[in-house]
A and B are shown apart, each in its own frame.
Chain A
Amino acid sequence: DQQVKQNSPSLSVQEGRISILNCDYTNSMFDYFLWYKKYPAEGPTFLISISSIKDKNEDGRFTVFLNKSAKHLSLHIVPSQPGDSAVYFCAATDSGGGADGLTFGKGTHLIIQP
């Protein structure tokens, strides 16, 4: 039973346009969410996070939006660049859950086309 779902295995976007990656979760105890980026042969790299007390967090070209009522979050990348081509993982945790680690989605492979 997947608690964090990324329903799009892949996404292709033209360079310069906006990339929107989606993530849904089912566990209502999750209150902190993170996005990671992974290149082949490397470990996941932390990108941006958001606490459930916010609905938006922005860092340069990256913005994460959280819709708690829909249990949905999205990562916007604008403008998309060739170096953004990677697998993006959504992750979540329950801040009151102790040492539960992070629960990850399966990832979305973003391909930026020139």
Chain B
Amino acid sequence: ETGVTQTPRHLVMGMTNKKSLKCEQHLGHNAMYWYKQSAKKPLELMFVYSLEERVENNSVPSRFSPECPNSSHLFLHLHTLQPEDSALYLCASSQDTGTSGIYEQYFGPGTRLTVT
């Protein structure tokens, strides 16, 4: 596997379910991100992890819970979601959070989430 991978690619869940999204990066990066893309809206940053520590939580509701067990893996745990949470969830990684002067982020293919 190369680059950034995400599983599952598609997920349909009810409002009472608990599910998790998984992201893995094979680039040797130290920073990982979760973004949300809703219809007709720009990508919105949700969480930032640097060296497995959360450094940014962009006012995301607590029904979204991230986890970063190591610098290669990132999870997004979902529980009691609402239909308006249906969106494309994108994971990204970068060398660091900009301390090296490198700001490019590399994205996975995303998980298309539908909450019913």
B-binding residues in A (CB < 8 A): 2, 4, 32, 34, 36, 41-46, 49, 89, 93, 95, 97-107
Contact = CB atoms under 8 A, between A and B. Distances in A.
Given A95-B98, A100-B45, A101-B58, 20 more contacts: A32-B103, A34-B103, A34-B104, A36-B107, A43-B4, A43-B90, A43-B92, A43-B108, A43-B110, A44-B90, A46-B105, A93-B103, A95-B103, A97-B98, A99-B50, A101-B35, A102-B105, A104-B42, A104-B43, A106-B42
B21 interface: no
6 contacts: A44-B90, A89-B42, A89-B43, A99-B97, A99-B98, A100-B48
Interface in B3-59: 4, 6, 31, 33, 35, 40-43, 45, 48, 50, 55-56, 58
Given A98-B97, A99-B48, A2 B42 contact: yes
Contacts of A46: 104-106
Counting chain B residues whose Cβ lies within 8 A of the other chain, the interface size class is 20 to 34
Interface of B: 4, 6, 31, 33, 35, 40-43, 45, 48, 50, 55-56, 58, 90, 92, 97-98, 101, 103-110
Question: What's the dominant secondary structure at chain A's contact region?
Answer: loop
Contacts of B90: 43-44
B103 A49 contact: yes
